[in-house]
Copies of this chain bind each other. A is one copy, B any other.
Amino acid sequence: MSTKTKILPAKDRLIGAAIELILSQGYNATTVDQICQAAELTKGSFFHYFKNKEVLGIAALETWGAYGKTIYAEAWDDDSDRPLEALYRFIEIMTELSMRPEAPCRCVVGTISQEMAQTNEGLRDACSLQLSIWTEMTAQLIKRAKAHSAPNKAFEPDELAWFLNGIWQGSMLIAKTRQNPQIIAQNLEHARRYVSCLFGSY
């Protein structure tokens, strides 16, 4: 996500710079000037590509969502005959993300959601969409696992997906505040145990 070699087109450089800055400072604290400086462009160019900061934010959310798809692809796109393992792999991927030492585990969607959902309709809708996509992809995975491995207890795939989304976002929020990513892995482990409980292997 941090390859902003000047070979990339200007628009992508702007989006990339915005994502990095938003992740490390938040949306409001990130100024258009900072983004332009990081992308090695001027404000004039910025407003050539984006009508305003909100539109850039929406583009950043979409790019972030697409980025997520590549990360989760291994689990989400799994079509093997062992979908339950893919589900556990999914949780594992998140855990791995949380333990990278180089980049703290943060989410553009969660960041912009908390800051802007109440005051900016466009950003709220874009955040809502990304959350829904994440959940839908996960729900599909859960559904496949459920169909394949008869679960121990009754549950709705959608609900479980939202539950995972919730613990994921909440954990990142807490980790950011406590400046300690360990809590994320710890919470994800409990989420995994809950999934095991539902599927009967725990």
Contact = CB atoms under 8 A, between A and B. Distances in A.
Contact of A114 (B115, B190, B194): B115
Interface in A162-182: 162-163, 165-171, 173-174, 176-179
B194 A190 contact: yes
Interface residues of A, number: 47
A71 B171 CA distance: 23
A40 to B, nearest CB: 19
Contact of A119 (B26, B165, B178, B191): B26
Interface string A138-172: 00000000000000010100011011011111110
Nearest to A197: B197
Contacts of A132: 178
The count of identical subunits is: 4
Interface of A: 24-26, 28-29, 110-111, 113-119, 124, 127-128, 131-132, 153, 155, 159-160, 162-163, 165-171, 173-174, 176-179, 183, 186-187, 190-191, 193-194, 197, 202
29 contacts: A24-B118, A25-B118, A26-B115, A26-B116, A29-B119, A110-B114, A110-B173, A113-B174, A114-B114, A114-B173, A127-B177, A128-B179, A131-B177, A155-B190, A163-B167, A163-B191, A165-B174, A166-B170, A166-B183, A166-B187, A167-B167, A168-B170, A169-B174, A170-B170, A170-B171, A190-B194, A193-B197, A194-B197, A197-B202
